[in-house]
């Protein structure tokens, strides 16, 4: 489920999740809690539209095609100097390499059972976002004399995941992005049927071509017409 709801985490936590057979996801034990919360994050929504024109049409009107996956991206600071987190007695501060390996293990590690990287849950304050890593880049900004990194800036981008249950709730089964097979009734015309399916009667020539109709003004009651999804 891609989206936001109530949460209580004071630090951003990224948790690996398991995709179940029924399409739902369950949080697992592997998680990464950031050292410093990001100063900001971007949450993007996008909608796809079909701009197909018909013959002789001067302009096209945007027809809804689908909703794209939500996206969230932000930057993290990984510090190994001990300035951000006080050293643990007898252990010291976690170095940059160790912290990055932990982050990789949660968001980037290839799951041998599912043959793909993990699904993850982002939890911070009131934000809950389910998705998968889309991109990750690391800029090393501070080093020891030996060349070992002491600080790194990590850019993360995630694309949203929607469970099958949520997809079913959002789906409109009369949507023009689905295939329709309609039985012609007395009084039906091709432009009228196109309007019922696509909310635009101007697709009648395309539908006539798909169905091999040479005289679209004369439809036989009882015959079945194929209305393909818009592309």
pLDDT digits (tens, 9 = 90+) for 184-215: 998 888 988 988 888 788 888 888 988 989 88
**Is the pLDDT assigned to residue 15 strictly greater than 90?**
yes
Higher pLDDT, 216 or 150: 150
Question: For the whole model, what pTM was predicted?
Answer: 0.63
Residue pair 112/118 in contact by the 8 Å Cβ criterion: no
* Residue range 213-226: mean pLDDT, rounded: 87
pLDDT tier at 2 (50, 70, 90 boundaries)?
very low
Residue with the bigger pLDDT between 89 and 77: it is: 77
pLDDT at position 117 is 83
pLDDT at 176 over 70: no
Asked if residue 203 lies in contact with residue 228, where contact means CB atoms within 8 angstroms, the answer is: no
User: Average pLDDT, stretch 75-104?
Assistant: 81
CATH 2.40.30.200 residue spans of the chain:
9-170
Q: Is the pLDDT of residue 45 over 50?
A: yes
Q: What angle do CA 156, 70, 138 make, to 5 degrees?
A: 5
pLDDT of residue 127: 84
Summary mean pLDDT of the chain: 81
CATH architecture of 180-227: Roll (3.10)
Give ranges for CATH 3.10.350.10 in the chain. 180-227
Q: Output 37-42 pairs: Cβ under 8 A, ≥24 positions apart.
A: 37/11, 37/12, 37/124, 38/12, 38/74, 38/75, 38/76, 39/75, 40/74, 41/72, 41/73, 41/74, 41/127, 42/71, 42/72, 42/73, 42/74
Name, in order, each residue with C-beta under 8 angstroms of 64's C-beta and a sequence gap of 6 or more.
Answer: 47, 48, 49, 50, 176
Distance, in Å, from the CA atom of 106 to the CA atom of 78, rounded to the nearest integer, reads 15
Cα angle vertex 149, ends 148, 150, to 5°? 120
User: Hey, what CATH topology would domain 9-170 get?
Assistant: Elongation Factor Tu (Ef-tu); domain 3 (2.40.30)
Collect all residues with Cβ–Cβ distance below 8 Å to 104 and sequence separation of at least 6. none
**The pLDDT of residue 6:** 35
Give CA separation, 27 vs 99, 142, 159, in Å: 21, 34, 17
Which DSSP state fits 203? G
| pLDDT at residue 7 greater than cutoff 70 | no
Q: Which of 12, 5, 3, 1 is nearest to 123 (CA)?
A: 12
User: Residue 124 above 80 pLDDT?
Assistant: yes
64-68, 141-145, 181-185, 199-203: range with lowest mean pLDDT: 64-68
Average pLDDT over every residue of 163-179: 58
* pLDDT higher than 90, residue 34: yes
Question: Could you tell me which of 105, 104, 85, 101 has the C-alpha nearest to residue 93?
Answer: 85
In this predicted model, which residue has the larger pLDDT, 12 or 58?
12
């Amino acid at each position: 489920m891609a989206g936001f709801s109530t949460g209580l985490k004071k630090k951003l936590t990224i948790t690996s999740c398991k995709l179940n057979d029924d399409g739902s996801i369950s949080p697992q034990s592997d998680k990464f809690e950031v050292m410093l919360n990001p100063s900001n994050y971007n949450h993007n929504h996008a909608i796809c539209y079909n701009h197909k024109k018909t013959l002789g049409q001067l302009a096209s009107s945007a027809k809804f095609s689908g909703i794209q996956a939500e996206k969230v991206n932000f930057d993290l600071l990984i510090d190994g100097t001990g300035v951000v987190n006080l050293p643990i007695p007898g252990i010291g501060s976690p170095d940059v390499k160790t912290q990055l390996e932990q982050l990789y293990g949660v968001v980037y590690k290839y799951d041998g059972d599912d043959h793909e990287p993990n699904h993850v849950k982002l939890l911070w304050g009131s934000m809950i976002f389910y998705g998968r890593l889309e991109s990750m880049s690391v800029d090393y900004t501070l080093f020891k004399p030996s060349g070992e990194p002491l600080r790194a800036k990590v850019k993360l981008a995630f694309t949203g995941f929607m469970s099958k249950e949520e997809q079913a709730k959002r789906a409109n089964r009369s949507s023009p992005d689905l295939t329709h097979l309609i039985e012609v009734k007395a009084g039906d015309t091709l432009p009228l049927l196109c309007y019922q399916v696509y909310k635009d009667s101007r697709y009648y020539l395309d539908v006539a071509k798909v169905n091999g109709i040479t005289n679209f003004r004369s439809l036989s009651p009882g015959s079945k017409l194929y209305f393909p999804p818009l592309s």
